[in-house]
Copies of this chain bind each other. A is one copy, B any other.
Amino acid sequence: MPTGSDSRALYERVADSLRTSIERGELAPGDTVPPEQELAESHGVSRQTVRQALQQLTNEGLLSSGRGRGRTVRSQARLRWRLSHFESQGNHTADADAWANEVQDQGHLPLQEVSVGLEIPPKAVAERLNLDPEKDIVVVRRRLRYVDDVPFQVADSYFPEDLARGTALMQPKNVSVPGGLLASIGRAQTRMVDEIQIRMPTKDESSRLGLPAGTPVAEHMRTGYDADGLPVRVMVTIAPGDRHTLVYELDAS
């Protein structure tokens, strides 16, 4: 029970109480939150205060925004995205690329929309590919990826234009080649550097991926190098936090 020395705002006390119920599993994923009126009565506060508490928990990603219907507790079921393995050569097969195999292995249905463009490289991409953004251009393969028909991640791969020119990398559709597209043109990635930033989505990312309020993303940038140590690709993936667990398996040395 709130005491006189409790400096938290009223709505914070209500939010804390509901959060505890969720953490303990008393309110489970999919459950509908009790009606505002009921919560107002049980906590001895106004409906306006209850609404503030529910908005707070929605911003934290714990509740759906529930327009029209009641708010529900969000599921935190995540697919494991095994980043140290998923682009290994054995994971590229003739009938599916590395990502599709990764999703299928976990019992889900992958789908990718692919488009190809020629662009001036963004600054971060130019730096990593040793390109001059004033005169070099890149081929970008943009993919919107779905799992079980739900938008899942956005993954854009950038290649130096002189590397991609006239190759299968220019095909504006999903292409599956044993060993992967880069291997098929003799430029397989042998070393990769992954850089991960954790942030809130941009408005455009939110709408493309259908992100509920309070859903942060990982911006995952992978730079691939060939056997000669030359950078051959930068892949930028926007991975919503509510749909992914990023997994790395490492040998200590």
Cβ A88 vs Cβ B252 within 8 A: yes
Cβ A196 vs Cβ B252 within 8 A: no
Inter-chain contacts of A252 with B (CB < 8 A): 87-89, 188-192, 224
Expressed in whole angstroms, the Cα–Cα distance for A244 and B214 within the complex equals 20
A83 at the interface (CB under 8 A from B): yes
A250 and B218 contact, Cβ closer than 8 Å, known pairs A16-B203, A198-B244, A241-B197: no
A247 and B196 contact, Cβ closer than 8 Å, known pairs A89-B252, A252-B88: yes
A interface residues, tally (CB under 8 Å): 47
A16, A60, A239 interface centre (most CB from chain B within 10 Å): A60
Inter-chain contacts of A190 with B (CB < 8 A): 251-252
A148 at the interface (CB under 8 A from B): no
A180 nearest CB across to chain B (Å): 10
Cβ A197 vs Cβ B59 within 8 A: no
A177 nearest CB across to chain B (Å): 16
A61 at the interface (CB under 8 A from B): yes
Expressed in whole angstroms, the Cα–Cα distance for A78 and B246 within the complex equals 20
A199 at the interface (CB under 8 A from B): yes
Cβ B241 vs Cβ A84 within 8 A: no
Residue of B nearest to A23 (CB): B202
Q: What are 12 A-B pairs with beta-carbon distances under 8 A?
A: A84-B248, A88-B252, A88-B253, A192-B250, A192-B252, A193-B247, A193-B248, A195-B246, A197-B246, A198-B218, A198-B241, A224-B252
Binding site for B on A (CB under 8 A): 16, 19, 59-61, 76, 78, 80, 83-84, 87-89, 188-200, 202-203, 214, 216-218, 224, 239-242, 244-253
Q: 7 tightest A-B contacts by CB?
A: A198-B241, A216-B216, A196-B246, A194-B248, A60-B200, A192-B250, A61-B200
